[in-house]
Amino acid sequence: MPRTPTLEKVMSIEAVIDAPQDVGKGLGIYNVPSGSIKGDGFEAKIVAPSGDWSRTISDTVIALDVRLSALLPDGSYLYITYPGRVVVNENMAGKMGTGEAIDGSEMYFTTTPSVETNAPDLQWMNDALFVGAMQTTTMANPQKQGHLVYDIFKIV
């Protein structure tokens, strides 16, 4: 009988996001100046350099290219990178422009993170595959930083 993978939640990421640097041709670079990562038995702080190089690839799709560095209390690091897709629909497009909170149920915002770490207790992350799902977000603009919360699941 074929095995069907399941998902096991392993961490949540909360990130603060600066307004994008609009470099043209659909590319926006978002600095991620701070945030936290909380998992079962560990916590880490997002530190510089961390950011998101988002590219608009159609009228409704944004491709993500995120790189996060996070410091654990013992001085070890998590380096999390991921591509992803955000599918913008009519209902949430207006909220993006006004900076209103958008719930994860209102949009498709899914990622496929990879984790590298030198933390002795988290070495299993180096060998695992993950998916991420946005829980809530507010978009950054020149007057206000944005905020993003999403959960990361190990594929078991």
- Ranges of each domain in the chain: 7-155
Q: What is the pLDDT at residue 90?
A: 80
Residues 93-114 pLDDT 10s: 778 878 889 999 998 999 999 9
- Measured between alpha carbons, how far is 148 from 10 in angstroms, rounded to an integer? 17
Could you tell me the fold of the domain covering 7-155? Porin (2.40.160)
Mean pLDDT computed over 31-40: 97
Q: What is the pLDDT at residue 14?
A: 98
